[in-house]
Amino acid sequence: MKKILIVLVLVGHSVSAQFTDINIIKEVKVRNKGVVVSAHPLASEAGAKVLKMGGNAYDAAIATQYALAVVYPQAGNIGGGGFLVGVKNNGEKFTLDYRETAPKKASRDMYVDKNGKADTDLSQNGRLAVGVPGSIAGFYATLPYCKLPMETLIQPAIDLAEQGFAVTQLEADFLNKHKEAFQKHNHSPITFVKNEPWKEGDLLIQKELAETLKLIQKFGAKGFYEGKTAQLIVAEMKRGNGIISLEDLKNYKVAERKALEFKYKDNDIVSMPLPSSGGTLLAQMLKMSSLEKIENYQQNSAPAVQIMVEAERRAYADRAEYMGDPDFIQDKTSYLISDEYLKNRWKSFSFNKATPSAEVGKIINPSKESTQTTHISILDKDGNAASITTTLNGYYGSKVVVSGAGFFLNNEMDDFSIKPGVPNMFGAVGGEANAIQPNKRMLSSMTPTILLKNGKPYMVVGTPGGTTIPTSVFQSIVNVVDFKVNANTSVNAPKFHHQWLPETIKVEKNFPESTIKELKSKGYTFESVDHIGKTEMILIDNNGNIQAVADGRGDDSVAIE
């Protein structure tokens, strides 16, 4: 457990700053209490605070997301978008899609230069990389499921922005690492850049963001999508090559979509449908693994990893070919997750050797992989569950802060296939289904998921990590359901990832050497990476205890009601 304690001293008098005690809590076991797990202790506490005030899981979802936008600027946001999967204690399921959209002026080849080359710098950095933000509309679409008013739910974030909070070592490191990019993409000074390097315990105060949040508190969603904030966003676009207009902002709409539901053994799984590929990939991977009786093996053993990698390979090849915004393409999900299709897809599997990726999809050169985004898992004392993944896409999104409004804008346009066949920042290769069109949502990997037994939520899970999201959620579920490990081992044991292209299996540094050696002898190749995802899991175990686990890979933390 880490504790940062500082006292803020101003000239003439001393003030004990409210948000300088940072207590990171990695695991709790409780009964009959609401729990919130998120990427930052102060955000989890904001969620728990509204639970204590009588709010439910959806109140906590809004308060935690607003707070993350302040204390976790690398991914928490009001300038990005996300997905919420909810299961109420009466069994009612719903999803909210507040994914960003392409601006009206966007076009298929907007990132392709005159030589026919895709310019990934333009789709990843600066104003042209920005999709129309959906988060604030998403919070307002969540409100009908809540018990408390928005003015109350936004207040913890306003306090955090106004009074400041002590940055953690990890956030300080990230801010320092991105200083040059912040300076390159912002024309006026921003609060995230200072002369000296950031260090643990430094106070980050965001006055402009506090004012923006107050406008939202006063005017509702219009405080963001119209009026001063909208004008500041459009003015920011005009400081460079941005194309978002006042009309784009005013016209942004949340989509309430039917949850993707499927059965896995004795679990009912509820996850996000398109435009996130997450739920579909999860269903495909779980169902293919069960064809090979995955439950007969151990976590991270060679046969288990081989089965799961081959399921991942086949699912990600389908992602590239078939998946995109269902409002613009024919949605083939029910066919892709059908037993008949998957049995056929699995026929080429052999324990003797790796299946070449060329055999399951058309090969195109891939590139690098990154890990961003953020996830929140919540279960309230009445059994309502919320699983939310939200993102700016890359760390600090486009790196552009809206001048006068104080928040980062996303770089979500890079999640489109900017030129079909050219990989995005996650190395994912997309096809025509995910080509850019005005008002279209870009394909996502976010996989907020809830598992039910006997009609009641018993696992709430999700993670950041770009294209590694579905494979991490897949492992987290198999670890518990098939390998019978507890929530902590499921979340914190080393992970692996395969996504069809590149052929390589990514493994975390402490991955078992014996498994790597055995699979290398069958033709698999490996790449070692620092970490994969940051999974937040809440699990009600067989004894009725709630195990809430915040991933050990970051500042992630649990808060209890």
Active site (catalytic) residues:
373
Measured CA distances, 447 to 101, 304, 444, 560 (Å): 19, 22, 9, 24
Q: Is 470 in the site for ligand GLY (CB under 6 A)?
A: no
Stretch touching ligand GLY by CB under 6 A, among 6-14, 141-149, 442-450, 542-550: 442-450
Strand order in the sheet with 260-264: 27-30, 546-550, 536-540, 456-462, 449-453, 267-271, 260-264
Residue 361 or 394: which CB sits closer to ligand GLY?
394
Residue 83 or 192: which CB sits closer to ligand GLY?
83
Closest contact distance (angstroms) between CB of 275 and ligand GLY is 9
Stretch touching ligand GLY by CB under 6 A, among 153-161, 359-367, 441-449, 547-555: 441-449
Tell which one of 95, 373, 468, 479 touches ligand GLY (CB under 6 A): 373
Residue 272 or 516: which CB sits closer to ligand GLY?
272
Closest contact distance (angstroms) between CB of 492 and ligand GLY is 22
> CB-based contacts of 513: which residues, under 8 Å, 6+ apart?
none
Residue that is written with structure tokens 């053993």 in the block = 301
Closest contact distance (angstroms) between CB of 316 and ligand GLY is 13
Residue that is written with structure tokens 């921003």 in the block = 190
Q: CA 98 to CA 136: how far, in whole Å? A: 8
Residue 398 or 445: which CB sits closer to ligand GLY?
445
Stretch touching ligand GLY by CB under 6 A, among 288-296, 333-341, 439-447, 481-489: 439-447
Residue 27 or 551: which CB sits closer to ligand GLY?
551
Which helix (H) or strand (E) covers residue 341, if one does? helix 339-346
Q: Is 444 in the site for ligand GLY (CB under 6 A)?
A: yes
Q: Is 391 in the site for ligand GLY (CB under 6 A)?
A: yes
Closest contact distance (angstroms) between CB of 445 and ligand GLY is 4
Closest contact distance (angstroms) between CB of 373 and ligand GLY is 5
Tell which one of 206, 299, 357, 445 touches ligand GLY (CB under 6 A): 445
Residue 43 or 413: which CB sits closer to ligand GLY?
413
Q: Is 463 in the site for ligand GLY (CB under 6 A)?
A: no
Closest contact distance (angstroms) between CB of 453 and ligand GLY is 28
Closest contact distance (angstroms) between CB of 281 and ligand GLY is 11
Render the burial of 329-363: b for 16+ CB within 10 Å, e for the rest: bebbbeebbeeebbeebbeebeeeebbebeebbeb
Stretch touching ligand GLY by CB under 6 A, among 308-316, 362-370, 440-448, 524-532: 440-448
Q: Is 466 in the site for ligand GLY (CB under 6 A)?
A: yes
In 227-373, at which residue ranges do the beta strands (DSSP E only) sit?
A: 255-257, 260-264, 267-271
CB 286 within 8 A of CB 264: yes
Q: Is 325 in the site for ligand GLY (CB under 6 A)?
A: no
Q: Is 472 in the site for ligand GLY (CB under 6 A)?
A: no
Stretch touching ligand GLY by CB under 6 A, among 161-169, 208-216, 346-354, 444-452: 444-452
According to DSSP, the residues that pair with 95 across neighbouring strands are 85, 257
According to DSSP, the residues that pair with 379 across neighbouring strands are 35, 385
Closest contact distance (angstroms) between CB of 254 and ligand GLY is 16
Q: CA 230 to CA 244: how far, in whole Å? A: 10
Stretch touching ligand GLY by CB under 6 A, among 85-93, 308-316, 443-451, 509-517: 443-451
User: Which residue minimizes CB distance to ligand GLY?
Assistant: 444
Residue 22 or 446: which CB sits closer to ligand GLY?
446
In 27-75, at which residue ranges do the beta strands (DSSP E only) sit?
A: 27-30, 35-38
Site for ligand GLY in 265-304 (CB under 6 A): none
Stretch touching ligand GLY by CB under 6 A, among 231-239, 380-388, 438-446, 498-506: 438-446
Instruction: Provide the residue count of the chain.
Output: 561
Residue 64 or 372: which CB sits closer to ligand GLY?
372
Q: Is 446 in the site for ligand GLY (CB under 6 A)?
A: yes
According to DSSP, the residues that pair with 435 across neighbouring strands are 417
Q: Is 397 in the site for ligand GLY (CB under 6 A)?
A: no
Site for ligand GLY in 125-184 (CB under 6 A): none
Q: CA 493 to CA 418: how far, in whole Å? A: 35
Measured CA distances, 540 to 32, 33, 134, 272, 377 (Å): 11, 12, 32, 21, 13
Closest contact distance (angstroms) between CB of 444 and ligand GLY is 3
Q: Is 393 in the site for ligand GLY (CB under 6 A)?
A: yes
Residue 159 or 412: which CB sits closer to ligand GLY?
412
SS3 at position 340:
helix
Q: CA 475 to CA 514: how far, in whole Å? A: 19
Residue type, position 387, single letter: S
SS3 at position 447:
coil
CB 556 within 8 A of CB 39: yes
- Scanning 164-277, the segments in alpha helix (DSSP H) are 169-177, 179-185, 207-219, 222-225, 227-238, 246-250
According to DSSP, the residues that pair with 551 across neighbouring strands are none
Q: Is 415 in the site for ligand GLY (CB under 6 A)?
A: yes
Closest contact distance (angstroms) between CB of 337 and ligand GLY is 19
Which helix (H) or strand (E) covers residue 449, if one does? strand 449-453
> What residues make contact with ligand GLY under the rule CB under 6 A?
373, 391, 393, 415, 444-446, 466, 469
